[in-house]
A = this chain, B = another copy of it.
């Protein structure tokens, strides 16, 4: 079972590594990190490099596609090699998935037309213009399309998917191995839970602004 995880510059590392450390533990999982070119990509913060071991052409028919998000998503909203690879891979994939603003890339590639989907809470309102129905749930499954909300929700998405693929027992064993018994010190992880001033401040500085044509 090949799992292809897309890497690009200025992604959010946890979007990648949360699902990776779940899905890579599935029986018969073979993970390949793909990019437009092989070699290190730099995350949004600028201090972490993850390595793409394969080009898009090297993984034409993955069983599972994972598209992370992050501010670098804005550079992948027009047709090009990434969209072409996604559309081709999606033809034969068993599951096509995203974390955070990765769903905007999937939608821009035309893969979420008429589908229910989610994204980072700061980007959810961009889905309708891309043909998808925004859904404020942490993990949204519509057919073979599985989208997760912001960043850390990729862990919940991947555990949900692990259960669908390999059964509850395998997914629970992975959860226990990762000791995923979350106990956040604050209850501020969603816009309806965090203090209003923090929500409005993040809204005012959202990194997920669509690229505008240069005048």
Copies of this protein chain in the complex = 2
Question: For residue A49, which residues in chain B have a CB less than 8 angstroms away from its CB?
Answer: 50-51, 53
30 A-B pairs in the complex with CB atoms less than 8 angstroms apart:
A13-B21, A20-B48, A21-B45, A31-B47, A48-B50, A50-B51, A139-B185, A149-B179, A150-B177, A150-B178, A151-B179, A152-B155, A152-B182, A153-B179, A153-B181, A153-B183, A159-B185, A160-B185, A163-B186, A171-B186, A172-B194, A173-B202, A175-B188, A175-B194, A176-B190, A176-B191, A176-B198, A177-B202, A179-B189, A181-B189
A125-157 residues at the B interface, CB under 8 angstroms: 138-139, 149-153, 155-156
Is residue A121 contacting chain B, with contact meaning CB distance below 8 A?
yes
Q: Could you tell me the distance in whole angstroms from the C-beta of A182 to the nearest C-beta in chain B?
A: 4
Q: Could you tell me the distance in whole angstroms from the C-beta of A152 to the nearest C-beta in chain B?
A: 4
Question: For residue A184, which residues in chain B have a CB less than 8 angstroms away from its CB?
Answer: 155-156, 159, 175, 180, 182
